[in-house]
A = this chain, B = another copy of it.
Amino acid sequence: MRMSKLVGRTIKETPRDSELPSHKFMLRGGFMRQYSAGIYGILPIGMRCIAKIEKICKEEMNAVEGQEIRMPCTATKELWEETGRYQTFGKDMMKFKDRHEKPMVLNPTHEEPVVYLARTEITSYRQLPVMMYQIQSKFRDEPRPRGGLIRLREFTMKDAYSFHANEEDLKQYYDRVYDAYNRFFKRTGCKNFVSVMSDNGLFGGKYSHEFQMLAPTGEDKLITCPHCKYSANEEISTSPFVIKKQTEVSMTKEHTPNAKTIELLTNMLKIPAEQTAKAVMFQTLEGVPVISFVRGDLEVIDKKVRTLVKSEVVTATHESIVKAGAVAGSTGPIGLNLNECYVVIDHTVAKSNNLATGANEKDYHYVNFNLERDFLSKLTESEKKKVIIGDIAAAREGDPCPNCNSSLKETRGIEIGNIFHLGTKYSEGMECTYLDQNGKKQYPIMGCYGIGITRLLPAIIEESHDDRGPILPLPISPFEIHFCVLNRKENIIIEKSEELYQSLTKQGLEVLMDDRDEKPGSQFADADLMGIPFRIILSPKTYAEGCVELKYRDNRSEPRKVKLEEIENILLSEIKDEYRKYNSL
């Protein structure tokens, strides 16, 4: 390919609103352009990267006996109503009406469409296990699209769905996909990625993992143990925490004017945050208040609350707070109206003694509150049913590991893939059955497996760039060789560059030749912005020595002069070695 003809111009200035390095470089390097919020077009060099990612992805999916299919982007409302998700997806699902006023949706994921197929195509245990996958556009009307291709409203995803006769078979297959994902990410050049346990969703299955690219700019907080193998998304992270047992002392009610936050309260009472119980107030989608309590130094994870109350939860409205009998700024367990609300109490509150907590009375808090003594023991049987004690706090850097008690680490990541045990939620929800050996109807047990194809490219650039641009791994680089031809005013340079370009191309090498009349500095800056790993430079000076200069985008070694007659073999051999390196990881 000749750079003079390449669609996608490089940009010197940093584009507005591009905070992430990948976002900035992908715009500046001409990998993509924005159409509107969260909607991008992929330009030729970006598309070459993505096509390579897709190819490797298909190879790995085929290697675990995946069968490629193509499901539509659009679906009827009825299909999504079968599982109730037409409602629960809310505004994230893009909806429209067709010419006959029939309500339709743009599929945000494909569990429902794939079970629709399985329902007619999978009828016997003999067909199981089976996995179907596709690489297809997905649509999610994100409230806050960001980071270029990181969080889009329309994106390309590889999604796969497996069907099994029993849990053991699913677990085995899940582990095979887990390994395939590791291979896939390594083959595409990902370096610092981890798999962490992740949230299963409200009615999700028993286990799930996210693959996360470690990056300080990542949206997800991860909690990992450097000692054992524990690693989890913060959303499901857990810790026994450090709890100092104290002897219970009598509870008193204190006047605490304006102490509406834990910080103000602890300053006033001269106690540490660990000595308080903090309220965080939610409500279910039906509007039932859910008042949660956690030790004052910790944070509540809403998804954990959701799992315990078995319903989606959102932040409580003022109305809900009043209905629950809570007083904002002074909320505590004592005095809540348990006929009207749920109370969810974290383990840390249950295990600690002598906490300060709200009195549900403006400007008053209780001090030396003890959960069992001052609250639980005083409830009626029916009130007790509204109280849930469980794990709703997020672990933090330094907290003890739930497995081995070592000190946990906090880090950030970009989710690049996920694998889920789905169980029979969708097969049951949509009456998808097969006949087992005994001719009895059974629901297949499902797993699902996603990879954010368009997100992977910026995620890789996040971990692999310098201040001049991306440093792309060879397997996903748009070209293998960036060929800078300097000072094309001399005919011999044009002639020799054409000769070399033709010769390399004939060998099957992918060469981007900079055939523009640009100054060296400008050519090099553009080459840096494209991130191609191997670079050769032909100029009157190198030609006078019968050489080209060979450089590496990642500066793995110093640039060196290579004889014109040797460069082809050297490139062929180094590039071959490099591919071998990735494929044997």
Contact = CB atoms under 8 A, between A and B. Distances in A.
Interface of A: 1, 4-9, 30, 33, 35-36, 39-44, 47-48, 50-51, 65, 67-76, 79, 91-92, 94-99, 104, 106, 113, 116-118, 120-123, 126-127, 130, 132, 137, 139, 141, 143, 153-154, 156, 516
A154 B72 CA distance: 7
A121 B7 contact: yes
Given A41-B70, A91-B99, 7 more contacts: A35-B76, A40-B72, A41-B69, A51-B68, A70-B156, A73-B139, A96-B106
The A interface is mostly helix, strand or loop, or mixed, namely mixed
Contacts of A141: 98-99
A73 B139 CA distance: 9
Nearest to A128: B5
30 contacts: A4-B127, A5-B65, A5-B127, A5-B130, A6-B67, A7-B67, A7-B69, A7-B117, A7-B127, A7-B130, A7-B132, A33-B120, A35-B72, A35-B75, A35-B76, A35-B113, A36-B75, A39-B72, A40-B72, A41-B70, A41-B113, A42-B70, A48-B68, A74-B106, A74-B154, A91-B99, A94-B96, A95-B96, A96-B106, A98-B153
A50 B137 CA distance: 17
A113 B113 CA distance: 28
B36 A117 contact: no
A116 B153 CA distance: 19
B72 A44 contact: no
A72 B132 contact: no
Contacts of A117: 7, 33, 41, 43
Given A33-B121, A141-B98, A47 B75 contact: no
**Which of A4, A91, A104 has the largest number of chain B CB atoms within 10 A?**
A104
A320 to B, nearest CB: 24
Contacts of A30: 121
A118 B75 CA distance: 32
Contacts of A4: 126-127
A172 to B, nearest CB: 16
A126 to B, nearest CB: 6
B44 A69 contact: yes
Contacts of A516: 126
B65 A43 contact: no
B121 A43 contact: yes
A172 B8 CA distance: 24
A215 B76 CA distance: 33
Nearest to A48: B68
Nearest to A119: B33
A153 B96 CA distance: 14
A457 to B, nearest CB: 12
A80 to B, nearest CB: 12
A84 B9 CA distance: 28
Nearest to A2: B65
Contacts of A139: 73-74
Given A7-B122, A143-B99, A44 B94 contact: no
A116 B156 contact: no
A55 to B, nearest CB: 11
A544 to B, nearest CB: 28
A434 B445 CA distance: 58
Contacts of A68: 44, 47-48, 51
A69 B42 contact: yes
A47 B69 contact: yes
Listed from nearest, the 10 A-B pairs whose CB atoms lie closest are A96-B96, A44-B67, A42-B70, A91-B99, A99-B141, A41-B71, A47-B68, A39-B72, A72-B154, A7-B121
